[in-house]
Amino acid sequence: MLNFHKKIFRSFSNSANGEVGEETLFYYSQTGNVVWAEYAGGVIVKGFLIAKMLDNNVLDMRYEHINQAGELMTGKCHSTPEVLPDGRIRLYEKWQWTSGDLSSGESIVEEIISKTS
């Protein structure tokens, strides 16, 4: 089982209909197979996600945030991890809005190493 506890992620790429950008930081926590994060940055004022880690380390998640336009946005996502040669985690995400236009997209987020760690 992968460990996401106290890891920080940043967007590497996202579909045009997504709101997460390179300014968005995700602060992850984990207990057992339950994973959650707070996120903010760019057009996102404040967001939260919660996920269940499946047997293959895939995260089945739900997310919600408020954007700078004051809209409450919600969605669902499956994130498939890859462990990079340097030990960091990259997540390949397939997501869909459950609010707004209900469109879907794909994104990649990568673990960043905090200079204060």
Interval 1-29: pLDDT, tens: 999 999 999 999 999 999 999 999 999 99
Fold of 8-112: Lipocalin (2.40.128)
pLDDT band at 114 (very low <50, low <70, confident <90, very high): confident
C-alpha to C-alpha distance for 39 and 49, rounded to whole angstroms? 8
Q: Which residues of 72-86 are buried (b: 16+ CB within 10 A; e: fewer)?
A: ebebbbbbebeeeee
C-alpha to C-alpha distance for 25 and 17, rounded to whole angstroms? 18
Max CA distance (Å), the chain = 40
The arithmetic mean of pLDDT across residues 48-53, rounded, is: 98
Domain boundary assignment for the chain: 8-112
